[in-house]
Amino acid sequence: QVAVIQADLRDTGAVLHDPATTRLIDPTRPIAILLGAVLHFIPGTIHDVLGRYRQTMTPGSLLALTHATPQLTPDPDTATPVAEIYPRTATPLQPRTRDEIQHLFDGFDLLTPGLVDADRWRPDTPPTTDHDLGILAGIGVQPRPRPRQARITNSASYATTRRRGADHQVTA
């Protein structure tokens, strides 16, 4: 089943509470959010927007994204046209640094090979160029909670509780 929702990606309430979304997505099961070639058209801070989506995702859910960097099209033959075209559009390009893009995966474990140039993310064929494309790609999985392990607080407490007949004193 498929649905199309017409909403602003930044309006997480409109996206997540749309009847089509609630009909198709079970909030108790893992989902995948695919953000290919879209985030670099959203101005300003997007980390908070992704945080609101992240809060609705269950462990095992995936976040896949690609994002332009300031090094987009380092090839001199294409760099100038790109730099001239995007500022004149209704959606100017908002490239972000590797660190900014990496930060979007906070709360996720990046899958191998990590955050890399898009044509080097598990390519079926060798990269098409000698230089990076300036578009990074990555997939993160929301980890399952790790069980907390009990530990003995200290040996004196342990010895005291053993003499009183208790098994042992632990803290979580």
Mean pLDDT, consecutive 10-residue segments, the chain of 172 residues? 91 95 94 94 91 94 94 63 74 90 96 91 72 87 80 49 42 40
At 129, list the tokens.
């160029």
Q: Is the dihedral of CA 114, 108, 53, 23 positive or negative?
A: positive
At 164, list the tokens.
């009183």
> What pTM, to 2 d.p., does this model score?
0.77
pLDDT of residue 128: 65
pLDDT of residue 122: 75
Q: What whole-number distance in Å separates Cα of residue 102 and Cα of residue 114?
A: 9
pLDDT of residue 145: 82
pLDDT of residue 8: 94
Phi and psi at 140, nearest 5°, equal -120, 150
C-alpha atoms less than 13 angstroms from C-alpha of 13 in its C-beta half-sphere: 0
pLDDT of residue 153: 53
Is residue 135 classed exposed, middle or buried when 0-12, 13-18 and 19+ CB atoms within 10 A define those classes? buried
pLDDT of residue 131: 65
